[in-house]
Structures are given as C-alpha cells and as structure tokens.
C-alpha cells in the first residue's frame, strides 16, 4: 500500500477558497497537514462587491478541525492583488509550495449580447488571475526547487458551451498557460496541472436543478486536486476531469496526418481528396511540447 498523502510542512495558497470547490480543496489539504492561505474577494458570482466573511469562515472551519489557515481578501484579477496573496503565505508561513488557481466568476451571454466588459472581467479573473498568481509564486517555488500548481479550467473551454465565449476562452487559455509552465518548471521540480471539475456550487446552481447540485458535492473533486498537489504527483501538464465520483484525463491529440512530398503543388482539391486521412485520429498522439509536434510535422523534410 502506497504511503498516505500528507502535506505536513507544506504551505498552500488556494484562490477563491471562501466557498464551493476552493473551500473543499482547502479543507482536505489542511486536514492532511498543509498550512493554507484562504484567499477570497467575497464578491457576487458575476464579480461585483467584496466581503471578508467567506474567507474568514473557512479559516475558522480549518482551525476548528485543528488545522492552520490565514485569510487573504485580495483580488486575483490585479498584479498587485496576486502579489499580496502570495506575500500572505510568505509572511505567515515562510514560503509557498502549492498554488491552487481556483477563483472564478461567470458572465454568460451569447456572442450577440456579450458586452466588452463581460469579456474583460471574465478574462481578468480567470486567465489573468491564474497568470498573476502563478507569476508571483513561481520565483519562490524555483528558489525552493519545489512547486505544485493546479489551475482550474472547464469543459466549457475544452469542449465549448453556448453563451460562454468569454469563460471558455479564458479556461482554455489556462490549459495553454499550464502547458508552458510545465516546461519552464520541469527543471525545478515544479509540476503544473489543470483540472476540469463538475460540481454543484453557486456558479452552477443557476443552471442545474437542485437535486443534481446536491449529488455533485465539490468534495468529490478534491481527491485528485490533493494528489496533484502532493509530493507523490507524477503528472505534469495533465488535464484531469473530475466530478460525482468520475475521474479521467482529457488531452489534445493529433492524428498521424498526411505528408505531401511536393508542398509547392498542393491544391485545395488535394485537401478534399485526402480529407478523411488528414482528419483521421486513428493512431493519434499527444505531444509534450510545441517542439515535439513541429519535429514530427517536419520529419519528412531532408536538409543538406
């Protein structure tokens, strides 16, 4: 039997941890020994207002179960706010080992009705927030040769969802950001992964019937998040999906494709003629970097 996953001596920052998924991840990490910064701006689900109560309440819950936690109320959506969040970990606990980028808001509207502000706000919290917090944490993790970064994407990003161009783009952007953080962190034992959760929270309560929300406890997502935050974690650059007892991995794959020997003479009609081979995913592969994909795409070229 493998050793139990523990976080003794580890310091974690969880953004948007005042409720929903962030709260559940924080309680699990703290119950296994992590010292946790509970960040939450405490606004409404669409990103207005601020309230210290949610972060304070989660800290109280953690202390009541014998754990250690400090609150932080900054917004992830500004560089200054992100630096304060990470500084809270360093000032109180001396370092940061684990970053869970989880804070989120929704401003769903169809393309025709979406205001520029709805796009900007969602980008700021999800994509910029993930970049800012990761950028603030990264030098400290590099210094300590240890880091676990888990960022929160969504099926709306990797597969699409009506009315969520802003949210979907931000969430897929997070997966893209993680693909590079994985490469830049590899040398320093920094692992970066993405989760795609399904959970009944205030963000989904508006679109799911109450009996479904009840069955989708945020706690059901946290075990894989805790694994990705652990010393035992062997994954980096993975997209892990989870919810309601379901756990899996999503990936971007590329089919073997078709090589034309004479690219000067390829016509649109040649594409039609070979379309089924070009688009076939039989024998598809994952690539662990852009370089690896480009090397395959150019593998038929002969250089003097």
Q: Is 61 or 231 the residue whose CB approaches ligand NAD more closely?
A: 61
Q: Which DSSP string do the residues of 221-252 spell out, in sequence order? A: THHHHHHHTSTT---SS-EEEEETTEEEEE--
Separation CA 67–CA 60 (nearest Å) = 9
188 is catalytic: no
Minimum distance of ligand NAD from residue 216's CB (angstroms): 7
The binder of ligand NAD chosen from 12, 18, 165, 222 (CB under 6 A) = 18
Q: Binding to ligand NAD by residue 19, rule CB under 6 A?
A: yes
Q: Is 71 or 129 the residue whose CB approaches ligand NAD more closely?
A: 129
Q: Which of 132, 146, 167, 220 is catalytic?
A: 167
Separation CA 218–CA 244 (nearest Å) = 8
In the numeric block, which tokens belong to residue 76? 């992830």
Separation CA 126–CA 278 (nearest Å) = 34
Strands (E), the chain: 11-14, 35-39, 68-72, 98-101, 147-152, 190-197, 239-243, 246-250
Interface positions, 157-196, toward ligand NAD (CB under 6 A):
none
Minimum distance of ligand NAD from residue 233's CB (angstroms): 20
The binder of ligand NAD chosen from 26, 165, 194, 201 (CB under 6 A) = 201
Only segment of 97-105, 224-232, 250-258, 262-270 that touches ligand NAD (CB under 6 A):
97-105
HSE-CB at 202 with a 13 A cutoff on CA atoms is 18
Q: Binding to ligand NAD by residue 62, rule CB under 6 A?
A: no
Only segment of 41-49, 182-190, 246-254, 264-272 that touches ligand NAD (CB under 6 A):
41-49
Given phi > 0 = left and psi -120 to 50 = alpha, else beta, which region is 183? alpha
HSE-CB at 125 with a 13 A cutoff on CA atoms is 29
The binder of ligand NAD chosen from 26, 88, 152, 178 (CB under 6 A) = 152
* Three-state SS at 254: strand
Point out the residues that are catalytic: 167
Query: What is the binding site for ligand NAD (CB under 6 A)?
Result: 15-16, 18-22, 39-43, 45, 47, 54, 75-77, 102-105, 125, 129, 152, 154, 197-199, 201-204, 218
């Amino acid at each position: 039997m493998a050793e139990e996953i523990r976080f003794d001596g580890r310091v974690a920052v969880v953004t948007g941890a005042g409720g929903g998924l962030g709260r559940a991840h924080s309680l699990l990490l703290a119950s296994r020994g992590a010292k946790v910064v509970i960040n939450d701006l405490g606004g409404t689900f669409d990103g207005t207002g601020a309230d210290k109560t949610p972060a304070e309440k989660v800290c109280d819950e953690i202390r009541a179960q014998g754990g250690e936690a400090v609150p932080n109320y900054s917004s992830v959506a500004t560089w200054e706010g992100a630096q304060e969040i990470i500084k809270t970990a360093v000032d109180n606990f001396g370092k940061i080992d684990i970053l869970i980028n989880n804070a989120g808001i929704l401003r769903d509207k169809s393309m025709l009705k979406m205001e520029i502000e709805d796009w900007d706000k969602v980008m700021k919290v999800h994509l910029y927030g993930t970049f800012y917090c990761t950028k603030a944490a990264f030098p400290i993790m590099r210094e300590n040769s240890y880091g676990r970064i888990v960022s929160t994407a969504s099926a709306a990003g990797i597969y699409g969802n009506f009315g969520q161009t802003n949210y979907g783009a931000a969430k897929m952007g997070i997966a893209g950001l993680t693909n590079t953080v994985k490469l830049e962190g590899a040398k320093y034992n920094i692992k970066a992964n993405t989760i795609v959760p399904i959970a009944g929270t205030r963000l989904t309560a508006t679109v799911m019937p109450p009996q479904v929300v009840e069955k989708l406890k945020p706690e059901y997502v946290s075990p894989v998040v805790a694994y990705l935050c652990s010393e035992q974690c062997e994954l980096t650059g993975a997209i892990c999906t989870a919810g309601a007892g379901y756990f899996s991995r999503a990936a971007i794959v590329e089919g073997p494709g078709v090589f034309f020997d004479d690219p000067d003479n390829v016509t649109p009609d040649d594409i039609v003629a070979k379309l089924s081979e070009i688009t076939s995913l039989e024998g598809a592969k994952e690539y662990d970097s852009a370089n690896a994909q480009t090397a395959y795409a150019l593998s038929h070229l002969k250089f003097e």
